[in-house]
Structure 1
Amino acid sequence: MITTFLGIGGVALVFFYLGPVIQNVKDNRLKAAAAANETLDPLLGRNLAMLLWWPRGQPVGAPAYQLAYVGVCYWLMLLYLSTSTLDTFYVTLIIYLSSQLKVLNIDFLSIAEGADGGGDDDDDDSLVEQGRPLSRPETVHKLPVKLPNAYDKTKAQRTHERLLECIIFHQEVIKSVDEMESILSASILVQFLASTLVICFTAFVITTAENKQDLPTYITYLATMFYELFLYCWYGNELLAESERLQTSAYGCGWSDAGAGFQRTLRVAMARLQRPICLTAGKFYKISRETFLLLLNGSYSYFALLHQMNDR
């Protein structure tokens, strides 16, 4: 998905570069056909990749125009690289955090299994010192034989320790998400609002443009803005979904066979797990797929309003 996002942005950048060149060829043919006409626009055949404000007017002279064109193209390339690199970096961090929550879900479900497998050597030594057999009936036989009290105690300790490790892991993920929230919250809110307006205006230009030559440029640019919102919302929803799964995973850890201390700790942990971890845009929107649909609905509303005003 990220590769597609970068590819669409690169194609849009190429269209921004080539659009003025193609238009200049057509303008030069028009100027050659009407060479004696003195009322031709001096900017005819001097198109740039983006409309900019120039203090003394857009340059049209021989070296000045070419330098301005190269400068505008270079500025567009820097703009594309800076925005796309930041977006992909932040989305990668969101993917990483959601992956950590996937691991935490697995850890919660395997608490009892991990307690069965770890620390066997220490248990064997303690059983030998007490003169008890090393074989564990529940693994060798299928009969419900009661284990020695010493083994029950060490297994309960290991189970409780694994639960505490999961809780500490969860706290570290919460700290990471909070830190990322403090960095991204305001900027993502501005980006969401700006992208909503840009999608609206770009779609309006596509549907009302008389010059069909610029349509590929606008279409690829619209797809880039669309995909930019989609990446954040899709993987932000993955983070939210994995966080909401933690309650079910913790409940399925085999707590019914654990001790009272384990159950008390699990109740406290599940009280915190009821609050899912998520990233927000300025505390106004949760970054999720529902937010993506909400933003698209907002863009369409503005788009319909512009069309009504244009028709009048």
Structure 2
Amino acid sequence: MIKPLSWTESGQSVLKLNIRHLWLLGVWPMDDSSSVFKLYTGFTFAVGVWSVAECLLAVYFSWGHIEETTLVLIFTSTCSCGIIKIVFFVRNPQSYSLMVREVAGLMALQNGASSKDPALAAILHDSHKHAFRITRGMLLFMFSQCFIWYPIPIAAHAGERRLPFSQHGWDNNSNFYELSYTLQCVSGLYMSQISFGLDCLFASIMILVAAQLKILRRRILKLHKEVISADGNDSFCRWAQMPADKCYDNMYERLCLCIDSHQNILRFVKHLQVTMSPIAMTQFASSVVIACMALFQSTYGEDISAALKCASYLPIPGGQVYLYCWAANSVTENGESVSTAAYSCPWVECSARFKHALRILIVRAQKPLVLTAGHLYPINRGAFLSLLNASYSYYALLGQINKRQMKDSAQGS
């Protein structure tokens, strides 16, 4: 049984911001989690389910009005995506705790080499800083949408009792207006932040894994120099004076350490793949729908306030997909570079066992480290472009449907 992370342990993790952000939203439990936190998680989930049910009812009453329907479906897709991600997380929270600990273990495995080399230490430091800034920036950008979506109904439709996302066509927003407005704001904030928070968590982990592969590549390239440095003399003249057996034994030992690090990284990537795959697939499907609807509203919407809201929201689904594709592509590229580094190291004069171990490393590193969504769809830059093309295709289809409806309405009148 894997113990949940403690508050202290989360504070020591490089993923501190990601973990505590999800804890604040009632998703990530700590080891001292009580029944109160479980109730909080249930409240978060219930708010999301209520929002989706309200949206589906609103779609039913607005069916046939393509502009109103697509606007509601944007919020419906966002909430549905958040709910599905919560289900995947709550179903196996131990896997996430284990993943955080394994990330710390990977970095600890190469900390010795990084602490002795300023270049490697810089790679590690930059990856930590990059992961933190990506998470902070994306979450703040998502939060900034609240200042656009929430006040616009009051400012642009004063006196009309409009709601931020889905309108109550069954009672014309006349019953429980203030409560409905508040619940839509709360559910929109929670579901969007949870969805984005999990995406940033996986993107941060992939950034750290790519950095570990980059450090490993540099360690392999510097095997020759490390042996000389370990003997106490940085001069390459020392190499010719060292006994051959000692030189090659030292290189072999250091190569074995590199191979051990590589195997640990590969095992972690398999765990990451299993945990991330269903959530990435959920986000890809949701982003295609949201981007299509938001682009349609921005282009064809007659309501200027709705078009403004959708235009400001449009970069978000693309940004979520790009996070996955860019970070996963970085892992793949740095994984392939390990094979090139192994072949480029000074192996010609080395011992037979060194060459044998190096050959095994090269062959294994040549197998691409490809992360997938739903165990079916490769996550890379090509996937990002194909998803954008899919969104545009659906947008063009909606545009044709809208033009046909307008034409039919004009002929009917």
Query: Smaller-chain TM-score range?
Result: 0.7 to 0.9
- Read off the aligned partner of 2:152 and give its amino acid letter: G
Helix, strand or coil at the partner of 1:220: helix
User: Which of 170, 186, 195 pairs up with 1:83?
Assistant: 195
- Read off the aligned partner of 1:112 and give its amino acid letter: H
Alignment of 1:232-251 (within 5 A): 232-251=324-343
Q: CA offset at residue 17 of structure 1?
A: 0.5
8 Å contact from structure 1 (residues 200, 302) kept in 2: yes
> Using the alignment, how far apart are the partners of 2:188 and 2:212 within structure 1?
36
Q: What is the CA RMSD across the aligned residues, in angstroms?
A: 2.3
8 Å contact from structure 2 (residues 297, 306) kept in 1: no
Name 1:104's counterpart in structure 2: 216
> Using the alignment, how far apart are the partners of 1:10 and 1:173 within structure 2?
34
- Read off the aligned partner of 2:237 and give its amino acid letter: T
Alignment of 1:85-234 (within 5 A): 85-119=197-231, 139=237, 147=241, 151-234=243-326
User: Which of 150, 163, 172 pairs up with 1:17?
Assistant: 150
- Read off the aligned partner of 2:166 and give its amino acid letter: L
- Read off the aligned partner of 2:150 and give its amino acid letter: Y
Q: CA offset at residue 307 of structure 1?
A: 1.7
- Read off the aligned partner of 1:71 and give its amino acid letter: L
Name 1:257's counterpart in structure 2: 349
8 Å contact from structure 2 (residues 224, 251) kept in 1: yes
Name 1:68's counterpart in structure 2: 180
8 Å contact from structure 1 (residues 136, 147) kept in 2: no
Cα gap change, 1:297 to 1:187, in 2 (>3 Å): same
- Relative contact order, higher structure (CA 8 A, sep 6+): 1
Larger Rg belongs to: 1
Unaligned runs of 5+ in 1: 29-44, 121-134
> Using the alignment, how far apart are the partners of 1:50 and 1:309 within structure 2?
23
Cα gap change, 1:47 to 1:104, in 2 (>3 Å): same
TM-score by length of 2: 0.61
Helix, strand or coil at the partner of 2:145: helix
Unaligned runs of 5+ in 2: 1-133, 405-413
Range that drifts further, 160-169 or 185-194 = 185-194
> Using the alignment, how far apart are the partners of 2:350 and 2:378 within structure 1?
37
Cα gap change, 1:94 to 1:52, in 2 (>3 Å): farther
Cα gap change, 1:198 to 1:256, in 2 (>3 Å): same
Tell me the percent identity: 28
- Read off the aligned partner of 1:8 and give its amino acid letter: F
After the TM superposition, list the runs of 4 or more consecutive aligned residues in structure 1 that deviate by more than 3 angstroms: 1-4, 56-59, 135-138, 145-148
